[in-house]
Amino acid sequence: MNIKLTNQKENKMSSNPVNSQTMKLEVVLFNVSDVDRAKAFYENLGWRFDIDVVEGDFRGVQMTPPNSQASIIFGKGVTPDNPGSAHSLVLAVDDLDAVREDLIARGVNVSEIFHYAGGPFNNAVENPRILGRDPQGRSYFSFASFEDPDGNVWLLQEIKERLPGREWELTLSRTADVATLADLLRETAEHHDHYEKTQAEHHWWDWYAPYLSARQNGSSPEEAAAAADRYMEDVFPVLSR
């Protein structure tokens, strides 16, 4: 199950940060009426258990969805709100059918796939949810939902292709996990195939380096591939003389 926790309030059309500060969604917090029951529910989803802290009347459990950089913390005394107050927490998925089938197999009551009459998250119109996928098959427009035992509502939003500027950030550093690096190398190999088939013999790493550099700096896969092609055509011949 490949899901990522995302912030539905982010500006999906903006490609530039508002300032130079690093700002990432880290944790979503909510209370539950039965901590052990909630913990068992999310463990059954295949979410990673991080920590369980007990201090007097307080108890906080942190868990993380697969492949997500953001986590959830629930428990007793975590927020002043009542259990079941979290609504429409969004999980980005790349295959809505597969994730839905996986959750159902785990005993979760998942809704049928639906889309919004007025566009994603638009609850301002009458009868906002329409049964079935987005008729145009667009990324961001098809959903399913489920609730945890306390009524906290989760939305599964299918994102097969991200809008410009909303590509997942890549950081090639000591903190990059093996799975992230493996995904990046697989992606690079896929985009390298076209160049390898049409160009003269070369070392793959000479094309990989500019591609990875472009992706690390926020370029989309297509933009990174074009940057690597330009590097091989214009810069590499000069450097290799």
For residue 34, what are the CA distances in angstroms to 38, 83, 122, 135, 160? 6, 9, 32, 40, 35
Helix (H) or strand (E) holding 203: none
Rounded Cα distance, 89 and 8, in Å: 8
pLDDT digit string (tens) for the chain, length 241 residues: 656 565 444 443 344 444 444 567 789 999 899 999 999 999 999 999 999 999 888 899 999 998 888 899 999 988 876 777 788 899 999 999 999 999 999 999 999 999 999 999 888 888 999 999 999 999 899 999 999 999 999 999 998 877 655 554 444 444 556 666 677 777 878 877 777 666 666 777 777 888 877 777 667 888 888 888 887 777 556 545 4
> For strand 71-76 and strand 27-31, is the pairing parallel, antiparallel, or unpaired?
parallel
Rg of the chain, C-alpha, whole Å = 21
For residue 119, what are the CA distances in angstroms to 21, 36, 54, 97, 240? 31, 37, 42, 20, 52
- Let me know: does 63 contact 107? Beta carbons within 8 Å: no
Rounded Cα distance, 155 and 147, in Å: 9
pLDDT in tens, 168-227: 444 444 455 666 667 777 787 887 777 766 666 677 777 788 887 777 766 788 888 888
Q: Which residues contact 152 (CB under 8 A, 6 or more apart)?
A: 30, 32, 74, 83, 84, 85, 86, 87, 89
Q: What is the pLDDT of residue 174?
A: 45
Helix (H) or strand (E) holding 54: strand 48-55
Sheet arrangement for strand 27-31:
27-31, 71-76, 58-64, 48-55
Q: If DSSP codes are grouped into helix, strand and coil, which group holds residue 182?
A: helix
Report yes or no on whether pTM surpasses 0.85: no
Tally of CA atoms within 13 A in the half-sphere of 34 that contains its CB: 10
- Which tokens belong to 120? 């994603």
Burial of 95 (0-12, 13-18, 19+ CB in 10 A): middle
Length of the chain equals 241
